[in-house]
Structure 1
Amino acid sequence: MLCPTYTCTWKEDELLKSSLHDYVLQNLSRSEILDYMKRDFDQYTWCLPTLSRRLAYFGIKYVNYQVGIDHVVAAIEEELQGPGKLLGYRLLHKKIRVNHKLAVPRQLVYDILTSNHDDLLEKRAPKIKRRKRGGIGTFTSLGPNHTYSADGHDKLMGFQRNMFPFAIYGVQDVYSCKLLYVKVGKTNKNPKIIGKWYHEFISRTGVISQILRLDKGSENGHMATIHAYLQSTEFENPEDSVIFGSSTSNKIERWWRELHSRLVKYFKEKFQYLFDQGYYNPDEITDREILALVYLPLVQEEINKFVELWNNHRMRKQNSDLPKGIPNHLYDFPETYGSTECGSRVSEAELEDVKNLADVLDDGAFVDKELERRSKELLPNLSELELTDALEAYLYLKSSMSNYRLFIEVLHSSVPMNITKTPLFLILQSLF
């Protein structure tokens, strides 16, 4: 007798096999994987024993002791050539599993580092911390998409936030600690760019949080207005959906320390080297544009990788009412932790409406188009540039364009607006 369809087709389902493999490499527990399977592959029947049998059928193991030591050593050495040298062995082990698809035990990574790079382990060893003065603030949230914490990070811009054209801006879900997006551009002080990033995120997810937590900076004006406008049907006073406070009391501020110590410092050392050796002049617009052209995509790529690591790492119990667990799982399955989804759905019509009213940038390009065109003529594979080749590429482009003078028109010069804004939007805009 033939088996029912729902029990037979899973053996040929390559997407199922790939998803199971990825979740195991991320070190999710079987119960956490089961939640994703029930949601994403609900055409099949699921329970813990069934999950274990299917993992065994596909030959997927949490630890594969058949992986050759040479492969692990090569993967570690590759990571240590980049920002991976700033990671502790735990995060490095996770990066080896996720990025290199090597299901190796954590102890093996530690042993290789001890044998070949004990100096790096010593640098990352815990230090005695000074006692903090004052009380420690706590963060609370009812569930995912209840409160978003948003802020900018300027450490990569160097002295007086003006040396290097790399500004970072991110948004974090307070309940799950999941990083929703982290963007890098030449500035994080243009409110239209900040608003554009936020609008893109909402358009992608179709969900908006109840509360948006910001600091009182002019760069957040468009973002706050967009949020309040979209929440105008949920709040009697839409401006109450945006909370302002100091950066130091913002949830995402703690995460910037993680990003700085484990990623930003790597790039900052590279850029500082160029400056110290006279290869980069922050007052020369061409130098800034070439540096941004070469490194912006690479910095964004490494940030994306670090965000993925963070969103899939297991957090310990915090000094707050927030639950412990893996940010992605906390965000996707709040009912497992006694919470509920708190976000509001947003229609495409509302998103298009607020996009026009806010006048967010349609062109997100951060590099002069003419410079980009000339650079691609000199380096046709510029978009495929590896991090290890970036320094050489920058010096080559700088030398080749030594006689080229870049002229950039001021963005958004005083052109009369041809968009009729609704009274509600104008009122909200005046508040932020």
Structure 2
Amino acid sequence: MDVDNLVREYFKLGLRYSEIIKCLDELHGYSIGIRTLKRITKGLGLYRRKYKSDILQIALFVLEQCEVHEQMHGYRWMHLKCLERGLVVDQDTVLGLLHIIDPEGVEYRKTRRLRRRVYSIKGPNSVWHIDGYDKLSRYGIKIHGCIDGFSRQIIWLKAGVSNKNPSIIAHYYIESIRQYGVYPRRVRADMGTENVHVEALQKFFRRNHEDEHAKDRSFLYGKSTNNQRIESLWGMIRRQGIQFWVNFFQELNESGYHDGEYLDQEISRFCFLELVQDTLNDISSIWNRHRIRRYRQ
């Protein structure tokens, strides 16, 4: 891909100029300065504040998202979805539209804010947190995820037939190592037999290291409810899309179309598994490019 197309893609993702320059240099071998980048964006007609999309078009998109996801999307998340759609809009405009279109949702999100304990970790890939998510398990769809404790990057977020099978979880782990080209210093998981293969692999990869978290210390077990990072991830994916599927299957159940038996679960997976995965992919894509706010004391 040439420089122009790369700049267009990174600009669409909402990256700052400094971030685009770094990506071009480190990922693609193109070394350019800020002036060159601005000249390229101008030539491509890419502007942050100029030539904004029609406000009615933006409002209709925000309304559509509010109707689908009810009161779950905050303005930062909605802004990223607008950028993904190709709309040119700033965060303040999105916030203003949400106050008009979804005032109840704005107030709802304010009342549910929690002050969490401070989480301290040294750097990226210091700890990967893994766990299963069972809100759709009754309907045959099992979700499993992994998040980096420092950067909060989603490593994987998968919907499948099981989140308790050790071989499946190990497959997610190995595929992610292949994808990213790194493995973590430590993995944290809850006490379950589904993690035994990941534990063995992690300790094998760290067997020759001599740091304080090497060998047997490279895998941590603990209560799922105390796994702060992954529990936070589950709350986020529920707000940003999975609640739709929870409501959908609950309605099927209450209407007598899904009783949770084997055949119903198989039909659910055949019809909806890929759609649920699409939702998870969408959530991961947006989450992994949003900026993390620093913790305020």
TM category, shorter: 0.7 to 0.9
Equivalent residues in 2 for 1:42-81, closer than 5 Å:
42-43=29-30, 45-81=31-67
TM-score (norm: length of structure 1):
0.62
Verify the 8 A CA contact 1:84 1:92 in the aligned structure 2.
Answer: no
Q: Which residue of 2 aligns with 1:127?
A: 111
Q: Which residue of 1 aligns with 2:25?
A: 38
What's the CA shift for 1:282?
A: 0.7
Residue range with higher mean Cα deviation, 176-185 or 75-84: 75-84
Q: Which residue of 1 aligns with 2:120?
A: 139
Q: Which residue of 1 aligns with 2:238?
A: 260
Matched, 1:299 2:276: yes
Aligned-residue Cα RMSD (Å) equals: 2.5
Verify the 8 A CA contact 2:131 2:224 in the aligned structure 1.
Answer: yes
Equivalent residues in 2 for 1:179-198, closer than 5 Å:
179-198=154-173
Greater CA radius of gyration, 1 or 2? Answer: 1
> 310, 318, 324: which is aligned to 2:287?
310
Local SS of the residue matching 2:136: helix
CA 1:116 to 1:50, structure 2 compared with 1: closer, same or farther past 3 Å? same
What's the CA shift for 1:185?
A: 1.6
Instruction: Give distance in 1, aligned partners of 2:54 and 2:41.
Output: 22
Q: Which residue of 2 aligns with 1:18?
A: 5
CA 1:222 to 1:154, structure 2 compared with 1: closer, same or farther past 3 Å? same
Where in structure 1 are there 5+ consecutive unaligned residues? 1-13, 158-162, 321-432
Deviation string, structure 1 residues 63-94 (Cα, Å, up to 9, x no partner): 34342334323433443343375212221121
What's the CA shift for 1:137?
A: 4.9
Instruction: Give distance in 2, aligned partners of 1:106 and 1:75.
Output: 14
Q: Which residue of 2 aligns with 1:277?
A: 255
* Letter of the 1:106 counterpart: Q
Instruction: Give distance in 2, aligned partners of 1:127 and 1:81.
Output: 21
CA 1:152 to 1:62, structure 2 compared with 1: closer, same or farther past 3 Å? same
Instruction: Give distance in 1, aligned partners of 2:114 and 2:43.
Output: 52
Number of aligned residue pairs: 294
Q: Which residue of 1 aligns with 2:91?
A: 106
Instruction: Give distance in 2, aligned partners of 1:93 and 1:240.
Output: 41
CA 1:200 to 1:272, structure 2 compared with 1: closer, same or farther past 3 Å? same
CA 1:151 to 1:319, structure 2 compared with 1: closer, same or farther past 3 Å? farther
Instruction: Give distance in 1, aligned partners of 2:185 and 2:280.
Output: 27
* Letter of the 2:22 counterpart: D
Verify the 8 A CA contact 2:132 2:143 in the aligned structure 1.
Answer: yes
TM-score (norm: length of structure 2):
0.88
Query: How many percent of aligned residue pairs carry the same amino acid?
Result: 28
Where in structure 2 are there 5+ consecutive unaligned residues? none
Local SS of the residue matching 1:103: coil
